[in-house]
Amino acid sequence: MSLLAVRNLDVNFDTPDGEVHAVTKLNFSISAGDALGIVGESGSGKTQTMMAVMGLLAENGHASGQALFKGHDLLQMDTAELNHHRGKEIAMIFQDPMTSLNPYLSIEKQMVEVVMHHQGLSKAEARAHALEMLSAVRIPDPERRIRQYPHEYSGGMRQRVMVAMGLVCEPDLLIADEPTTALDVTVQAQICQLMSELRRKSNTAIILITHDLGVVAGLCDKVLVMYAGHPVECGSVEQIYYRPRHPYTKGLLDSVPRLDQPEEKGLHAIPGNPPNLLSLPRGCRFRERCPKAFADCVEAPPMSVDSEGHAYRCFLDEPA
């Protein structure tokens, strides 16, 4: 059985300008110990998917469908029930480590509170456990560092603290929303290494939300590509990177500046801009920017699955 199975998830927002369809008909699942990358550009719905799963949608947002975590639907739970899972079994790391740590509380207070609440340990035990986690994420001199406040940490160290806090209760599922986007490349490399190491050690399943195809290639086994609220392709990393089926995935891969290829190759941009979620085009949402669009694309293509389990939302039955 999969650890988390999302079925027919729709996320909509009521806004003064009309209803925004942030996520439409999303299906995916992840098993224990797996790493799934959700890739897409701004506004593709990747963050709102996870916010819906965690019960963290803004007030004007509503989700329908199912999000089965160990067989229980997270979307049907009230806050008290959700709190039983959140933090303990499902942890989340956000993009900006400064805004997700409380600036008024020391790192010690913030970490110890989580452990005491979820694992029922005494304060001293919780503190020992927190120190252990801080050394695991390679914070130097944790005894001194744990008493400090978030502003005394650098950006990379704050994100390492977030990883430590996320993993302190040994969750079954870690959701990381753009965990390295705000960081420098050298620090990003350190955080990625750390996450894959911790995953191997504790068999935590990871959902990594990012726009960076390079980070996904290094960390994940499965990839889900989203565009304008629609899942457009889903498969193993090998399928997505070497045999993409959707023209958007292909375009995305081509527009990444790569250091491992000769510079003469140039950069291929996807022309145009993503559609407005208030007034989505009829049919395939990528149609207007797609180099291979043809007459049929005014009807929405269904999600097709080939014999190897590679799913894609495109009428074309050929590699992109």
Partner 1 sequence: MNDRVLRVQDLSVHFKVSEGGFFNSQAHVLKAVNGVSFDLSAGETLGVVGETGCGKSTLARAILGLIKPNRGRVLWLGEELGKLDEETLRQKRKDLQIVFQDPLAALNPRMTVRDIIAEPLWTFYPKIARVQVDERVRGVMKMVGLLPNQVNRYPHEFSGGQCQRIGIARALVLNPKLVVCDEPVSALDVSIQAQIINLLKDLQTKLGLSLVFIAHDLSVVRHISDRVMVMYLGCCMEISARANLYKRPLHPYTNALIKAVPVPDPKLARVDADTGLTGDMPSPLSPPPGCVFHSRCPQSVKRCKLEVPALRRMENGDWVACHRAEELDLTIGD
**Positions that interact with partner 1 (CB under 8 A):** 41-42, 140, 154-157, 184-190, 192-193, 211-218, 237-238, 241-242, 251-253, 255-260, 263, 266-271, 273-274
Q: Which is nearer to partner 1, 76 or 99 (CB)?
A: 99
Nearest distance, CB of residue 141 and partner 1, angstroms: 12
Nearest distance, CB of residue 67 and partner 1, angstroms: 27
Cβ atoms 118, 87 nearer than 8 A: yes
Residue in this structure with the two tokens 């290094």, named with its chain if needed:
218
Nearest distance, CB of residue 263 and partner 1, angstroms: 6
Q: Which is nearer to partner 1, 79 or 186 (CB)?
A: 186
Cβ atoms 171, 155 nearer than 8 A: no
Q: Which is nearer to partner 1, 65 or 281 (CB)?
A: 281
| Element spanning 311, H or E | strand 311-312
Compute CA distances 38 → 229, 238, 248, whole Å. Answer: 12, 15, 14
Nearest distance, CB of residue 253 and partner 1, angstroms: 6
Nearest distance, CB of residue 97 and partner 1, angstroms: 13
| Element spanning 161, H or E | helix 155-167
Distance CA 177, CA 45 (A): 12
Distance CA 219, CA 208 (A): 8
